[in-house]
Homo-oligomer: A and B are copies of this chain.
Amino acid sequence: MSLPRIAVDAMGGDEGVRVMVEGAALARRRHDKFQFLLVGDETRIKAALEDHPNMRGASEILHCDDVVGGDELPSRALRRAKTTSMGLAVNAVKEGRAGAAVSAGNTGALMAMSKLALRTMPGIDRPALAALLPTLEEHDVIMLDLGANTDADARNLVQFAVMGAAYSRIVNGFEKPRVRLLNIGTEEIKGTESLRDAAAQLQAATGLAMQFDGFVESDKINRGEVDVVVTDGFSGNIALKAIEGAARFVTDLLRTAFTSSLRSKIGFLVSRPATELLKHHLDPNNHNGAVFLGLNGVVVKSHGSATAKGVANAVEVAARLLEDDITNRIADDLAALGKEDGNVPEDEAAE
């Protein structure tokens, strides 16, 4: 079976065309069946392609001049969905010219364009942004929503859990991913009404392709004891950025400490392999590729500052979701959830 090709917004991100094209080429070196639709300035894309002969015959260029700004309001960007590289990449998925889109551009604009072009899939009220985070164990943990929606009611949270579990089965290969709701305590009485209702619904549903383990607090996200952390977009964004900030804070302190004396500088050189291991484990490029789940099509957001290796990871995530048909998997799980309850879960308004 030939894999449908992947549309790459070649203009998005801090690093621009060269890194996006190099990332695609890197992914293709590992998977030679990958095909690309590269969207953006033709001259610059062609120039970048000259360094990557393995992309010959594997890529088509869709030219456009317009680019979405990094700080642009999503509502403004949306008006240029038909002229910008981001909009055209997403539209290629809608029109079947590509199976998935990858962009390193403005997250809010990408979400807005993807929602408008691809629409939310049947059975899902709102899409969610899901990302991979490192843990103490071999596998990553998936957290969603990370900011696609500011709030979420119980019904949204249950749907996020189903989507996150489907994503985990595909990228981590777990048959029954361990799913938990992010809360400020693990007791049943903690948190908002929406969280307690969502927990009750997930506890009651027995035929789900996941193991629901109740609540998790945000200090346990990276321990490797949970595979999918489900939350509303506000709390998820707060938790994600707090983790990123604290990791950077500790490594900054470490750098200061290591350069504070000659002795510690020598110690640093000696322990180089150890600190390189740490750096590798924490490098966001090794966990790159946040996914918009719940749309009629696959859209992957690459970090704005990702290197070619990071972009290649994002492309591979897109390809796996496409190959494993994430949209139909989520649809099947939703159907099972409906059947279990005897009806579709009711909408529980947030308190």
What residues of chain A have their CB less than 8 Å away from a CB belonging to chain B?
71, 73, 136, 147, 150-151, 182, 184, 187, 189, 191-192, 217-223, 233-235, 237-239, 241-254, 257-258, 260-261, 263-264, 266-275, 277-278, 281-282
Q: When chains A and B are docked, how far (Å) is the Cα of A260 from the Cα of B271?
A: 10
Q: When chains A and B are docked, how far (Å) is the Cα of A239 from the Cα of B260?
A: 30
Name the B residues within 8 Å of A243 (CB-CB): 242-243, 245-246, 249
Q: Is the CB of A217 within 8 A of B241?
A: yes
Q: When chains A and B are docked, how far (Å) is the Cα of A248 from the Cα of B220?
A: 10
Closest CB in chain B relative to A296 CB, distance in Å: 26
Q: Is the CB of A278 within 8 A of B264?
A: no
Closest CB in chain B relative to A273 CB, distance in Å: 6
Closest CB in chain B relative to A281 CB, distance in Å: 6
Q: When chains A and B are docked, how far (Å) is the Cα of A269 from the Cα of B270?
A: 10
Q: Is the CB of B254 within 8 A of A282?
A: no
Q: When chains A and B are docked, how far (Å) is the Cα of A191 from the Cα of B238?
A: 11
Q: Is the CB of A136 within 8 A of B253?
A: yes
Name the B residues within 8 Å of A267 (CB-CB): 267-272, 274
Which residue of chain B lies nearest to A264 when distances are taken between CB atoms in the complex?
Answer: B274
Q: List 27 A-B contacts (CB under 8 A).
A: A73-B189, A136-B253, A147-B184, A150-B192, A182-B238, A184-B238, A218-B242, A218-B245, A220-B245, A221-B242, A223-B245, A239-B239, A242-B246, A243-B246, A246-B247, A247-B247, A247-B249, A253-B277, A253-B281, A257-B277, A260-B273, A264-B270, A264-B271, A266-B271, A267-B267, A267-B271, A271-B271
Q: When chains A and B are docked, how far (Å) is the Cα of A253 from the Cα of B302?
A: 25
Q: When chains A and B are docked, how far (Å) is the Cα of A252 from the Cα of B243?
A: 14
Closest CB in chain B relative to A130 CB, distance in Å: 16
Which residue of chain B lies nearest to A232 when distances are taken between CB atoms in the complex?
Answer: B234
